Structure 1
Amino acid sequence: MDVTNETLPNTLDILFENHPYGYTIKNKVVVLNKKAEAAEKNRPPLNRPPANASPQTERQQTVSGTVQDSTGTALEGVTVTIVGTDRRTSTNSSGSYQIEASAGESLDFSIIGYTSQRVRLTGGMTTVNIILAQALSDLDEVVVVAFGTQKKISVTGSIASVQTKEIKQSPAANLAVTLAGRLPGLTTLQRSGEPGRDHTALFLRGMGTLNATAPIILVDGVEREMTYIDPNEVESVTILKDASSTALFGVRGANGVILVTTKRGTSEKPTIGLLYEHGLQGFTRTPEVISSYDWARLKNQAWANENPNVDPNDPVNQPPYSEYALDRFMFQDYPSAYPNTNWQKLLFNDFVAQQRYNLNLSGGGDYVQYFVNVGFLNQGGQWKIDPEVTDYDPAGFLKRYNFRSNIDAKLNKSGKLTTFLNAAGYFERVNSPNASTEEIFRRTYTFFPVVLPGPLTPEGEVLIGTGNYNVSPWALINRTGYRQETRNNITASWGLKQDLEFLTKGLSAKFMASFDTRTVYSLTAGREYQRWTQVIDPNTSNHLGMDSVAYIRMFPELENTPLSIGSGSNFQSFFNFQLSADYNRVFNEKHSVTGMLLAQQEQRVMPNDRLPFNLRGIALRAIYGYDNKYFAEFNAGYNGSEQFAKGRRYGFFPTISGGWVISNESFLRDHQIISLLKLRGSYGRVGSDRLGGRRFLYLDDIQRQTGGGYSGSLGRGGKIGENYIGNPAIQWEVAKKTNFGLELGLFNELTLNADVFHERRDNILISRQTIPMVYGIEPSRMSPVNMGIVENKGFEIELNYNKRLNTDWSILSKLNYNFARNKVLFADELQLPTDFKHQYRQTGYRIGQAFGYELRDGYYGSYEEIANEGLNYVGYTVRPGDFKYVDANEDGIIDERDMVPIGYSGIPEFTFGGAFNVTYRNLDVSFLLQGVHNVTQAMGSYGTHSEWDFKERHLHAWTAERAAAGEDIRYPRLALGASVSERDNNTFFLENRSFIRLKNAEIGYRIPLSAIKGLGAKEVRVYVNGLNLLTWDSMREKDYDPEVGYSLSYPVYRVFNAGVSVNF
């Protein structure tokens, strides 16, 4: 028998299903006996009807009794349910209950903390007394760890997990998004919402290195992608955070590990699950737009700020827009010449559809168990497409097909030899306009409302408008062609497991071979198109007395061209082989010994690389436990990679950890308040070979080059060039990690998990900056060196509460609060001159720490004030309405020497999440809050600075009149070009990205079985849920979502979703 992730009672039920023996559980001791005795053990005396009883006694009657625990104590709040109906009751304070039932029906007795029991009523049965055995505590459960499972009581590392029920409450298209706010220590940042390209950044315990920070992801024990997986396939997601839990990964474990475990079959009757969801998605935020009238006024205002001394009667130097033009924009009586274009409304749909379909089959018998899942996701894009002017489809969309099949089988009657086959994959098509996403948003956010979007000219060409803008955002979507990617991914794992008890009890061996392929076919269809510009002639009038309008070709030599097709493909393959031996045994009922030895070889073939990536090594885990109270664990990884020179390719990464379950001591056992108290700690080394940049840094990069004269055997123009000098001493990063944890349980309802951690990352690969000039080699030609050092420390707190209030009500809440702060201790940074306020930009600060100019209160009010102050702003002309900068080094000059640390980095230091669930009979309500704090980031100039475009914020810009009137001023003076105020690197444009978000919310209802008898279903549930529903943040301007890292990124989406799931 091969059972994983099952409770002990379920496992015993499977074990004894076809045997004459049964069991009872008393005080966590399993007692074997005959099935008849086991059944009779908890059965009350039967009130059998007399032999001559009439048939009326078989009809519905009152059934009553009491429910006690194994010590004879009455249990209050036990739910008594008639199986297959909605009829239920609960026990009172004396453990008594009463319910109407008929012979042939079954009573189910359940309460949190005890193993449920089910009794089938026979004729005349009116009294049923029950003794419920205490359920296995969380410590007795089995949890997923690296390359296997482990009893939770013996876990001494820092891990956390989330189950399928919580994952499926989110309608996100990307599985990584469903983890936001749910796991302590995991930071998720949804950087984009573009279908098929929605990047989500993942960090475990913040950032601990100057290089790659992403954790490695394993799906069913093999390193694979996670984003494409159908949530309906997932059983759980587990994160491994400290050295003890990640040591088996050796050279890859420093950034933490995410384990995705998919569902498997059971030894039960087949079950079929159907799911359908239909949702609407739209952007959470886009910049606020203003009317063409306001835009033209602001343009004139910016011109006036730049030309304060121009004679208003000068016929040449006049504002860009006359009073006549302003009136036309205001009254919109001549829109073909003076339009009011809302580019976002023109180009973006408010909402587009998203659908998900899913079918799964699960079941099996004694010899074979199976789980099969098929899914389809159809996610639309927000672009508005005009099908009348295109002969192709530039719409943005994602269409993904998923499948998975997990099969487990016994190869002999004893079940000592088992096999498994996991096969999965996806096929998806991603479509988008040929123009880049960044270019479309840049043009959309910076194109003026005074520019016509179209319609097309009578000649059928795209109209651009006035000025020198030669690209239309409407045309970028509808006229430049399209891009399409077709992605195929197939993964397969096959393995054998052999029980080796004939050698020694508790020993087993396992072999697994995995093969993955990924193919991406790309198709680009581009075209050129003719553009026209609009010219308004104020000296002539049309028949309406308005200025006449003419259209002029911008590129007379350019004609519309047919689609130019380009294509490409790349292929990746991956091989992984694992051979392991496991040992698990208990001696004298107190001494438990667990061990694992695993050897692994993997090879990854990537496009454009002639040589494959290889990794090989062994991993060791040894655990000793005494009486379920004291635990000691040793883990180690020994890995090698071809990325390093011979003699330096293998590294040893050992860790030690221990735990003390104080609640199992005699002085705390069976304590009425403290149900769990455990201390644990770990220390060890793990590594990272994700160094970035080119491969084989230990080798010199010498290549034949062309150019120049004849050079003998090299031919004309031939020569040898040394691009880089190799570094044979290069090696992996080393993280020394310390972790201490506390686990506390109260009343079997409330649990607290707390961890504090410290990490020092050495050997970080960096480029040297302090090479003397006399060395004779440019720093850019030197290979990186292992010299960087970063410190990272913090804490995590998780609080869970689970309680059934009565028969109808139950509540569940999970809260987590996390902190991680890093500091760069050494980066071989060139020290700046002493007249700089801060002589380093990295050393001593957070990774990604922003530097910029601090602002003083207020704005300059006049040229006289500027002159009296006497500060010299290098490279800029200061005018009234500009910011006042702090002269940090007090030298009378405002330049880079005055830059100081401002804000934080773009990765939050504090993260928190709160999940809440309330169930009332068949109705359930849940919601998830996610939040971050201590995070800042500048949005960039496009769509933000007045030199590119005007937005709602600019209506509140500084003017002398507003300042004199004491009005609220939200922006410095407007400018036609770059101004001293509109520098990205000052405290005004560095936005506080802290937020609290209603990440998910769901309301579900299970339709009563009595209402769906004819359907033949075991369960029908309808629900509505949503993603990114509400956001509360501290951003000064609400133009962009706080999670988006860049103003020109595809915005994060909000989803409103409805669905139905049916189980047969």
Structure 2
Amino acid sequence: MQKTNPPNKFLNISTFLGCMLFAMFSYAQTTVTGKVIDEQTEPLLGVTVLIKGSSSATTTDIDGNYSISVADAATATIVYSYVGYATTEVPVNNQSVINVTLKEDLALLDQIVVVGYGGVKKSDITGSVSSVTGKELNAFPVLDAAQALQGRAAGVVVQSNNGGEPGAPINIQIRGNTSIGASSSPLIVVDGFIGASMPQANDIESMEILKDASATAIYGSRGANGVVLVTTKKGRNGKMVVEYNTNYSIQNTTNELDLLNADQFAAYQTQIRANNGNTIAYPQGPANTDWQDLIYTTGSTKTHQFSFSGGSDKINFYASANYFDQEGIIINSDFERITFLSNIDAQVNDKLKLGLNLFGSLGTKNGVSTQSTGLGGIGGGGDDVISLAMRYAPDQPVFNDDGSYNSGNTVGDLVDNPFAIATERVDETRETDFRSNFYANYEIIKGLEFKTTLGLSSETSKQGTYSPSSLEVTAGAVGGRAAIVNTRQRDVLNENYLTYKRDIGKGGKLTLLGGLSYQKTTTEVFGAAANGFLSDSFSFYNLGSAQTLLPATSALSVVEIQSQFGRVNFDWDDKYLFTATVRRDGASNCKK
């Protein structure tokens, strides 16, 4: 009889484990990384990267890079989508690195894009220009349209100058920082007015971002950091249209720091003492205060917009009023602004067209010190409520037994507690902005037009700060401190230019532009400060009652710019494009 060998147990176990490892490997997550760029090799920020048929998604960073986990790398497909570009689908096919170039949506190539002193078809642009529609800018409630640009245009980065503070200025950078010490902010042009403030997003028809030298050259040296061209809404022929838009949103802190409570803090301080040879335990305070919970709150943003528009063959009109209100995520911080806008265009006859643009805004901001700098700041972080919430001892109460604010920080610097600074310190800014811009366009002969504009603007700002003597460390020694700064800026802008258009042969199109520009900017600044007040009732409005008046400051700046500019555009059969631009600026602050 033939002898049969018993089953090899070791072999069976090994086979089973191998199958298990193979199954685990088959269903393991694969991480796919890559970079998304446009056809000019510029990285695209904010591109949506989605696993098709699932909810797994991410977005590209400022350099166009992304990273996403894929469950089945053999069969999965990644979808790349971005505003103004054609959606692209790429099979993974077990790849770990996938770089993608997105192409512009061909349906948008016939769109007319404003490029400065005129407009051209998007397909005829030779420079780098991104276009954002008003609908895209109104996807969510924002302080102004500059904030809504984030993620809407390639190479454009938008940040608040002071985190999430209500009413904080918005900083725009096009293609990164262009200077170490000087400003990298682009030139803002609203309806042809150079250096204007950004209107509300609800009033904007379109926004163009000029990025490279070819596109920005028409604005000279002031366009070195890029140019943002804003076109506001206008009326259209037909019945009058009345619109009302409103929205409301809630804001919260995303991640508070996990700090020690009073017992943990006391134990930690006792251990430090023991390590230094001190056997006396840390004398723990009577409270258990979470300073972050005291200064942070739920913020909110609400907007209301009412507009009406309409027109006929001879005249079109658009008018709107906006109300914006934001409650900050730090107590006692808020911003409120009312704006209005009006556009009127009249076709006087076959050759003459007139137009008037009016804009105005009133804003009030109540701020809380979060950087320990600026007007009334004492420096060194002594009045920065966010850092103080992390530095102030958690075993100390908000108030002393006598009702005064506690300022007995037991570790580190002697400072006022963050709740006291957030609720007692006054930092108020009131701003007004009024602008008018008139234009006349006259057709001299067929193909030759002359346009003249006259714009006036006035911006005023008043910022006042007051620290009462109840803030013992910040202002107690001087009996309270107050400061106020008034700033006024006036602009006059006049531009005159000729535009000539002519068809050459069967496929040639020639456009010539030449003009003159004059702008005068006058800025006046006055500031005063004082210490020692008998009463807190008048805040910073009664500096004359102070015991000590500090030296006042004042300044006057007048800058005039005279420019000549020209541009040539030639298009042959929609295949060969040529653009040449020249501008000469003469500025009073650069004279000999």
Q: 338, 341, 345: which one pairs with 2:286?
A: 338
Aligned to 1:483: 427
Structure 2 letter corresponding to 1:493? N
Structure 1 letter corresponding to 2:437? S
Kindly state the Cα deviation for residue 516 of structure 1 after the two structures are TM-superposed.
0.6
Do the aligned partners of residues 474 and 318 (structure 1) sit closer, same or farther apart at CA in structure 2, a change above 3 Å counting? Answer: same
Residues 561 and 588 of structure 2 are in contact (CA less than 8 Å); yes or no, is this contact kept in structure 1? yes
SS of aligned partner of 1:265:
coil
Aligned to 2:404: 461
Query: 1:251, 1:208 → 2: CA distance?
Result: 13
Query: 1:141, 1:475 → 2: CA distance?
Result: 55
SS of aligned partner of 2:252:
strand
Q: How does 1:999-1018 map to 2 (within 5 A)?
A: none
Residues 176 and 226 of structure 1 are in contact (CA less than 8 Å); yes or no, is this contact kept in structure 2? no
Deviation digits for residues 136-168 of structure 1, max 9, x if unmatched?
953333111112211223211111111111110
Query: 1:165, 1:369 → 2: CA distance?
Result: 21
Kindly state the Cα deviation for residue 642 of structure 1 after the two structures are TM-superposed.
1.9
Query: 1:463, 1:138 → 2: CA distance?
Result: 62
Aligned to 2:520: 603
Aligned to 1:422: 357
Residues 416 and 471 of structure 2 are in contact (CA less than 8 Å); yes or no, is this contact kept in structure 1? no
Aligned to 2:584: 638
Query: 1:470, 1:147 → 2: CA distance?
Result: 56
Structure 2 letter corresponding to 1:576? L
Q: 436, 448, 461: which one pairs with 2:393?
A: 448
1:573 aligns with 2:490: yes
Kindly state the Cα deviation for residue 225 of structure 1 after the two structures are TM-superposed.
4.4
Do the aligned partners of residues 320 and 230 (structure 1) sit closer, same or farther apart at CA in structure 2, a change above 3 Å counting? Answer: farther
Q: How does 1:611-690 map to 2 (within 5 A)?
A: 611-646=557-592
Kindly state the Cα deviation for residue 430 of structure 1 after the two structures are TM-superposed.
0.9
Deviation digits for residues 41-99 of structure 1, max 9, x if unmatched?
xxxxxxxxxxxxxxxxxxxxxxxxxxxxxxxxxxxxxxxxxxxxxxxxxxxxxxxxxxx
Residues 563 and 586 of structure 2 are in contact (CA less than 8 Å); yes or no, is this contact kept in structure 1? yes
Residues 392 and 409 of structure 2 are in contact (CA less than 8 Å); yes or no, is this contact kept in structure 1? no
Kindly state the Cα deviation for residue 560 of structure 1 after the two structures are TM-superposed.
12
Structure 2 letter corresponding to 1:625? D
Kindly state the Cα deviation for residue 290 of structure 1 after the two structures are TM-superposed.
2.3
Deviation digits for residues 422-448 of structure 1, max 9, x if unmatched?
000210011135875962223222101
Kindly state the Cα deviation for residue 491 of structure 1 after the two structures are TM-superposed.
0.8
Query: 1:149, 1:462 → 2: CA distance?
Result: 61
Structure 1 letter corresponding to 2:516? A
Kindly state the Cα deviation for residue 568 of structure 1 after the two structures are TM-superposed.
4.0
Deviation digits for residues 490-538 of structure 1, max 9, x if unmatched?
011001000112xxx211000001111001123334320276xxxxxxx
Structure 1 letter corresponding to 2:141? P
Query: 2:481, 2:591 → 1: CA distance?
Result: 46
Residues 452 and 465 of structure 1 are in contact (CA less than 8 Å); yes or no, is this contact kept in structure 2? no
Aligned to 1:244: 214
SS of aligned partner of 1:153:
helix
SS of aligned partner of 1:610:
strand
Structure 1 letter corresponding to 2:432? N
Q: How does 1:435-834 map to 2 (within 5 A)?
A: 436=377, 439-454=384-399, 456-457=400-401, 459-465=402-408, 467=410, 469-479=414-424, 481-501=425-445, 505-529=446-470, 567-608=484-525, 609-646=555-592
Residues 160 and 240 of structure 1 are in contact (CA less than 8 Å); yes or no, is this contact kept in structure 2? yes
Structure 2 letter corresponding to 1:441? I
Q: 134, 155, 180: which one pairs with 2:150?
A: 180
Structure 2 letter corresponding to 1:420? G
Residues 174 and 198 of structure 1 are in contact (CA less than 8 Å); yes or no, is this contact kept in structure 2? no
Aligned to 1:821: none
Task: Give me the CA root mean square deviation.
Answer: 2.8
SS of aligned partner of 1:606:
strand
Query: 1:431, 1:357 → 2: CA distance?
Result: 20
Residues 406 and 416 of structure 2 are in contact (CA less than 8 Å); yes or no, is this contact kept in structure 1? no
Structure 2 letter corresponding to 1:339? A
SS of aligned partner of 2:185:
coil
Query: 1:147, 1:298 → 2: CA distance?
Result: 67
Query: 1:499, 1:361 → 2: CA distance?
Result: 30
Q: How does 1:928-967 map to 2 (within 5 A)?
A: none
Aligned to 1:408: 345
Query: 1:573, 1:320 → 2: CA distance?
Result: 64
SS of aligned partner of 1:462:
coil
Which protein is bigger by CA-based radius of gyration? 1
Q: Which has the higher contact order (CA 8 A, sep 6+)?
A: 1
Deviation digits for residues 208-256 of structure 1, max 9, x if unmatched?
33333221111112223445x2110111111111111111111222211
Q: How does 1:23-62 map to 2 (within 5 A)?
A: none
Do the aligned partners of residues 291 and 514 (structure 1) sit closer, same or farther apart at CA in structure 2, a change above 3 Å counting? Answer: same
Query: What percentage of aligned pairs have identical amino acids?
Result: 25
Aligned to 1:209: 179
Structure 1 letter corresponding to 2:244? L
1:294 aligns with 2:238: no
Residue range with higher mean Cα deviation, 621-630 or 192-201: 192-201
**Poorly superposed stretches of 4+, deviation over 6 Å:** 557-561
SS of aligned partner of 1:296:
helix
* Gap regions ≥5 residues in structure 2: 1-85, 87-105, 370-375, 526-554
Do the aligned partners of residues 208 and 382 (structure 1) sit closer, same or farther apart at CA in structure 2, a change above 3 Å counting? Answer: closer
1:150 aligns with 2:115: no
Aligned to 1:223: 194
SS of aligned partner of 1:529:
coil
Do the aligned partners of residues 289 and 634 (structure 1) sit closer, same or farther apart at CA in structure 2, a change above 3 Å counting? Answer: same
Query: 1:568, 1:645 → 2: CA distance?
Result: 30
Deviation digits for residues 617-654 of structure 1, max 9, x if unmatched?
111111112222212111111111122244xxxxxxxx
Deviation digits for residues 323-365 of structure 1, max 9, x if unmatched?
xx6xxx7xxxxxxx4321100112221x133211100111100
